[in-house]
Amino acid sequence: MSTITPMDIKDRKITGPAVTMLTAYDYSFASMIDSAGIDIILVGDSLGMVILGYDSTVPVTMEEMLHHCKAVSRGVKNALLVGDMPFMSYQVSEEEALINASRFLKEAGCDAVKLEGGVSVAPVIGRLVRAGIPVMGHVGLTPQTASSLGGFKVQGRDIERAKAIFQDAIAVAEAGAFAVVLECIPSDLSALITEEVDIPTIGIGAGPRCDGQVLVTNDLLGLYEKFTPKFVRKYADLASEIKKALSAFKKEVEAGDFPSLDESFFGGEEAVRAIKAQT
Ligand code: KIV
């Protein structure tokens, strides 16, 4: 059970410091991220791309999300745990959205859910919040509907789209979300939204003038090699380190250098002698 609540995150709009959020998909990473003092752990539907190897987040299912949320929740002590609602788990009807959102809390140990969209999903957000489910919004580039936004590219450089994203953020805040992710929008637009909404904005590719920042952990650690967006800062290059370690293992096994005597067990000589005598 987390110690950080959605209300604590909301208060950080006034009190600071900036909110930190990272993704996790399993127990080990969740424990490390939690120990590092990160405020929010998101089991993002980026799961589909960085862990399950899909080309987009669209195929991710409720069952896949819940399975990974359960693993992550076992590793979290302090951080607020947010589960990402997958594509089409909240669009069909408010009832279905309510049933699916509640599964994240009841079955998977999450404290809140996140869903993508603005004006069009505001009624759903309102319904979940009234039922007691804390909701994080997500506007700008919304990966689940990236194809209708022209692909994975910066949103809101033109007046019409910038206005729409601004209205989306307002709608999400008015519907009762406790925070909103701003993805891949120009820095001036995110600064304006941050000034206008009364909930924390958490940016990803949205520049420094947000109330917090989020990254996909596998990007930050250099673990996802397929594609690295411009906004990612790689704090480590673990893919290279891992490959070096794996090659060293292969080399040492083939050379007979692993395992050493120190890495082996002894005893049972009598048992071996007895077996040999019988064969
Ligand atoms: O799925 C995800 O990881 C996300 C973050 C990029 C915010 O939605």
Q: What integer best gives the mean pLDDT of the chain?
A: 97
Å from CA of 42 to ligand 1 middle? 7
Using pLDDT thresholds of 50, 70 and 90, give the confidence band for residue 138.
very high
Residues in the chain: 279
Q: Could you give the C-alpha distances from 133 to 18, 105, 123, 126, 233, in angstroms and in order?
A: 24, 8, 14, 10, 32
In tens, the pLDDT along 15-30 reads 999 999 999 999 999 9
- How high is the pLDDT of residue 168? 98
Average pLDDT score over residue span 215-231: 94
pLDDT of residue 1 exceeding 80, the answer is: no
For ligand 1, atom 8, name the residue with the nearest CA. Answer: 44
- How high is the pLDDT of residue 2? 85
Q: Could you give the C-alpha distances from 2 to 5, 21, 123, in angstroms and in order?
A: 7, 14, 28
For ligand 1, atom 4, name the residue with the nearest CA. Answer: 44
- How high is the pLDDT of residue 256? 98
Using pLDDT thresholds of 50, 70 and 90, give the confidence band for residue 141.
very high
Top mutation candidate among 42, 142, 155, 227 for ligand 1, by most atoms within 8 Å of CB: 42
- Please give the distance of CA 208 from its chain centroid, rounded to a whole number: 19
Å from CA of 263 to ligand 1 middle? 41
Average pLDDT score over residue span 226-254: 96
In tens, the pLDDT along 34-73 reads 999 999 999 999 999 999 999 999 999 999 999 999 999 9
Å from CA of 115 to ligand 1 middle? 10
Kind plus residue range of the DSSP H or E element containing 139: strand 135-140
Q: Which amino acid makes up residue 210?
A: C
**pLDDT: which is higher, 151 or 78:** 78
Top mutation candidate among 183, 201, 228 for ligand 1, by most atoms within 8 Å of CB: 183
Average pLDDT score over residue span 168-183: 98
Encode burial over 235-250: b for 16+ CB neighbours within 10 A, e otherwise.
Answer: eeebeeeeeeeeeeee
For the ranges 5-9, 31-35, 111-115, 144-148, the lowest mean pLDDT is seen at 144-148
Rounded to two decimals, the pTM is 0.96
Top mutation candidate among 181, 218, 221 for ligand 1, by most atoms within 8 Å of CB: 181
Which tokens sit at 30? 């969740």
Could you give the percent of the chain with pLDDT greater than 90? 96
Å from CA of 247 to ligand 1 middle? 32
Which tokens sit at 12? 């950080």
pLDDT of residue 150 exceeding 90, the answer is: no
For the annotated catalytic residues, the residue numbers are: 183
CB 228 within 8 A of CB 220: no
Domains contained in the chain, CATH given = 6-236 (3.20.20.60), 249-278 (no CATH)
| 3-state helix, strand and coil shares in percent for the chain, rounded to the nearest 5 | 45, 15, 40
- How high is the pLDDT of residue 182? 98
For ligand 1, atom 5, name the residue with the nearest CA. Answer: 44
CB atoms within 10 A of CB 194: 23
- Looking at ligand 1, which atom is closest to the CA of residue 44? 1
Whole-angstrom distance, CA of residue 77 vs CA of residue 111: 12
Residues with CB under 6 A from ligand 1: 23, 42, 44-46, 84, 138, 181, 204, 214, 216
